[in-house]
């Protein structure tokens, strides 16, 4: 496939069958390989769509500074696009994120402002909102509430999956900003009667939930519960176990959040198999494992990996 | 019936620091009412008049109870209930 530039090549990712992890010929799992995007994650879709919308709306002009709270992948995607389009980027990132994410952000020329580990991304959002108030000339794209985030998936991820898998019965993805699930989920619901939309949410170590008050919790503005069929919380141990199985059985080297999504997808597959239903289950491979090698998730026992990830924002 | 309930850090002031407590009841609402008899004040941190508080997520064996029957979700011996504050991803 030929494209005019790197930005033009976002999306168009393959959908790959998993013959060994699928329970039977009637219940099949399909991996949407979002690690094949330009910076190696699904966030390229949302980042580019949000920037192009802000340009179309006249908010972003050459030389502008973009500000964004992100645990990593969105920041890396924005940094690449900002570099090519001539914007400055400031990301607010929790300090408990992997070293590789920082290295990539620095290489693309982004400035990183670290927020405290306790509170995780909630804290990054809070800090970024304060910085936005102090710098009214900066443009915060705000992935948690920007409709262009979910639109990217409504316009591209959803149609690509449906074109490759017209018999789809279930879609499983990670729940972070909720953009992937809201956009792809809405598109599929409009085109596939009875399709089930399943969220896999990472369950982090305790420090990440270190809020001062339970009413300080955070729900992304994009989130609409009615799009989902159900939602699972996946612990780091299960995510790591599935990440390793995906490599062992199907040869796919994915990031840890993908293991969490696969865990929910396998549960869905087992249920359909038990009930004797046919199912074609598509799930998202969010990124490759490269950015997480330093976390220790890919070596040693599951206990070692679980300990290493405690307190880390692994998804 | 013994239901294991995992308590988040932020609510352990009500459980003398315990991460795990046991409750009994046939539904989530009954289990939470049972907890209140021993851990005074915890109930209203999780539930309000409308049901689950907005920024509280409760999972029954890892599935969000909002997609089951909310606080009226049936529970059974050996089930694990996890209470967590809502946090951002991304």
Which of A119, A231, A255, A313 should one mutate to test binding to chain B, selecting the residue with the greatest count of B CBs within 10 A? Answer: A231
Residues A269 and A279: beta-carbon distance below 8 Å: yes
**Where residue B87 falls among pLDDT bands split at 50, 70, 90?**
confident
Choosing from A77, A98, A150, A257, the catalytic residue is: A257
Cβ–Cβ pairs < 8 A, chains A and B: 105
Q: Do B54 and A125 touch (CB under 8 A)?
A: no
| Chain A residues near residue B64 by CB distance under 8 angstroms | 201, 230-233
Rounded distance between C-alpha atoms, residue A46 and residue B50, angstroms = 34
CATH value at residue B38: 3.10.20.30
Q: What is the rounded average pLDDT of the residues A251-258?
A: 97
Q: What is the pLDDT of residues A145-193, one digit of tens each?
A: 999 999 999 999 999 999 999 999 999 999 999 999 999 999 999 999 9
Rounded distance between C-alpha atoms, residue A75 and residue A102, angstroms = 10
Domain extent for B54: 3-85
Rounded distance between C-alpha atoms, residue B28 and residue B72, angstroms = 6
Tokens of B29: 């609402």
| Chain B residues near residue A219 by CB distance under 8 angstroms | 54-55, 86
- Tally of domains in chain B: 1
In a domain, residue B48? The reply is yes
In a domain, residue B90? The reply is no
Q: What is the pLDDT of residues A73-129, one digit of tens each?
A: 999 999 999 999 999 999 999 998 889 999 999 999 999 999 988 878 888 999 999
pLDDT score at B53: 94
- The reply to whether A257 belongs to the active site is yes
Give the bridge partners for A200, in sequence order.
Answer: A174, A232
Q: Do A209 and B82 touch (CB under 8 A)?
A: no
Q: How far is A313 from chain B (nearest CA, A)?
A: 9
Q: Taking the domain A43-140, which CATH number applies?
A: 3.40.50.1100
Fold of A7-36+154-306: Rossmann fold (3.40.50)
| Chain A residues near residue B54 by CB distance under 8 angstroms | 215, 217, 219
In a domain, residue B72? The reply is yes
Q: What is the pLDDT of residues A48-65, one digit of tens each?
A: 999 999 999 999 999 999
- Between these two residues, A96 and A47, which has the higher pLDDT value? A47
Tokens of A123: 């804290």
Residues B84 and B55: beta-carbon distance below 8 Å: no
Q: How far is A166 from chain B (nearest CA, A)?
A: 26
Residues A84 and A55: beta-carbon distance below 8 Å: no
Minimum Cα–Cα distance from A202: chain B residue: B89
pLDDT score at B1: 62
Q: What is the pLDDT of residues A216-225, one digit of tens each?
A: 788 999 999 9
**Residue A21: count of CB within 10 angstroms of its CB:** 20
**Residue A251: count of CB within 10 angstroms of its CB:** 10
Q: Please name which of A203, A199, A232, A230 lies closest in space to residue B69, comparing C-alpha atoms.
A: A230
Rounded distance between C-alpha atoms, residue A291 and residue A239, angstroms = 16
Which residues are CB-neighbours of A130 under 8 A, at least 6 positions away? none
Nearest CB among B9, B84, B90 relative to A176 is that of B90
In a domain, residue B80? The reply is yes
Whether the per-residue pLDDT at B37 is higher than 60: the answer is yes
Nearest CB among B57, B84, B90 relative to A71 is that of B90
Give the burial class of A303: count Cβ atoms within 10 A of its Cβ; 0-12 exposed, 13-18 middle, 19 or more buried. exposed
Q: Do B10 and A206 touch (CB under 8 A)?
A: no
Determine the straight-line distance between the first and last CA of chain B, rounded to whole angstroms: 39
Domains of chain A, by residue range, sit at 7-36+154-306, 43-140
Q: Do B89 and A176 touch (CB under 8 A)?
A: yes
Q: Mean pLDDT in chain B?
A: 94
ipTM given for this complex: 0.94
Nearest CB among A213, A233, A315 relative to B62 is that of A233
Q: How far is B7 from chain A (nearest CA, A)?
A: 11
Q: What is the rounded average pLDDT of the residues B11-35?
A: 96
What residues of chain B have any CB closer than 8 angstroms to a CB in chain A?
8-11, 45, 53-57, 59, 62-64, 66-67, 82, 84-90
Whether the per-residue pLDDT at B71 is higher than 90: the answer is yes
| Chain B residues near residue A215 by CB distance under 8 angstroms | 53-55
Axis crossing angle, helix A73-85 with helix A99-107, rounded to the nearest 10? 10
Q: Tell the residue number behind the tokens 């992935």, with chain if given.
A: A143
- The reply to whether A9 belongs to the active site is no
Nearest CB among A119, A177, A210 relative to B89 is that of A177
Q: Do B84 and A71 touch (CB under 8 A)?
A: no
Q: What is the rounded average pLDDT of the residues B53-62?
A: 95
Choosing from A43, A71, A77, A150, the catalytic residue is: A43
Nearest CB among A71, A208, A217 relative to B55 is that of A217
**Residue B83: count of CB within 10 angstroms of its CB:** 21
Q: Do B53 and A215 touch (CB under 8 A)?
A: yes
pLDDT score at A216: 77
Minimum Cα–Cα distance from B69: chain A residue: A230
Give chain B's length: 90
Alpha helices in chain A (DSSP H): 43-56, 73-85, 99-107, 120-134, 147-152, 158-164, 179-191, 236-250, 256-274, 302-309
Specify the DSSP class assigned to residue A168.
Answer: -
């Amino acid at each position: 496939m030929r494209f005019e530039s790197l930005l033009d090549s976002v999306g168009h990712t393959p959908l790959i069958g998993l013959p060994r992890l699928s329970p039977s010929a009637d219940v099949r799992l399909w991996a949407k390989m979002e690690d094949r995007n330009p910076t190696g994650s699904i966030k390229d879709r949302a980042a580019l769509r949000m920037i192009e919308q802000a340009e179309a709306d006249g908010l972003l002009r050459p030389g502008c500074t973009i500000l964004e709270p992100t645990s990593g992948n969105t920041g890396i995607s924005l940094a690449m696009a900002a570099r090519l389009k001539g914007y400055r980027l400031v990301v607010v990132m929790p300090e408990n994120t992997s070293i590789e994410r920082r290295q990539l952000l620095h290489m693309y020329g982004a400035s990183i402002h670290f927020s405290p580990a306790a509170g995780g991304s909630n804290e990054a959002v809070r800090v970024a909102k304060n910085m936005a108030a102090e710098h009214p000339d900066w443009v915060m794209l705000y992935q948690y509430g920007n409709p262009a985030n979910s639109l990217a998936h409504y316009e591209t991820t959803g149609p690509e999956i449906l074109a490759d898998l017209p018999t789809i019965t279930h879609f499983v993805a990670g729940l972070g900003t909720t953009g992937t699930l809201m956009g792809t989920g809405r598109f599929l619901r409009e085109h596939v009667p009875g399709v089930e939309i399943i969220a896999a949410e990472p369950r982090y170590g305790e420090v990440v939930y270190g809020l001062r008050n339970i009413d300080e919790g955070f729900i992304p503005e994009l989130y609409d519960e009615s799009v989902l069929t159900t939602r699972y919380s996946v612990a780091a141990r299960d995510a790591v176990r599935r990440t390793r199985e995906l490599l062992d059985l199907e040869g796919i080297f994915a990031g840890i959040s993908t293991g969490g999504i696969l865990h929910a997808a396998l549960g869905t597959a087992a249920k359909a198999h038990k009930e004797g239903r046919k199912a074609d289950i598509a799930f998202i491979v969010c990124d490759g494992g490269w950015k997480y090698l330093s976390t220790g998730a890919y070596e040693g026992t599951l206990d070692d990996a679980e300990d290493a990830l405690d307190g880390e924002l692994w998804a | 019936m013994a239901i294991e309930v995992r308590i988040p850090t932020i609510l352990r002031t009500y459980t003398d620091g315990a991460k795990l407590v046991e409750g009994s009841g046939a539904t989530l609402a009954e289990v939470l009412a049972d907890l209140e008899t021993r851990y005074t004040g915890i109930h209203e941190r999780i539930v309000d008049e409308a049901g689950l508080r907005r920024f509280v997520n409760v999972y029954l064996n890892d599935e969000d109870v909002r997609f089951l029957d909310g606080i009226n979700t049936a529970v059974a011996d050996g089930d694990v209930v996890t209470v967590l504050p809502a946090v951002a991803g991304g």
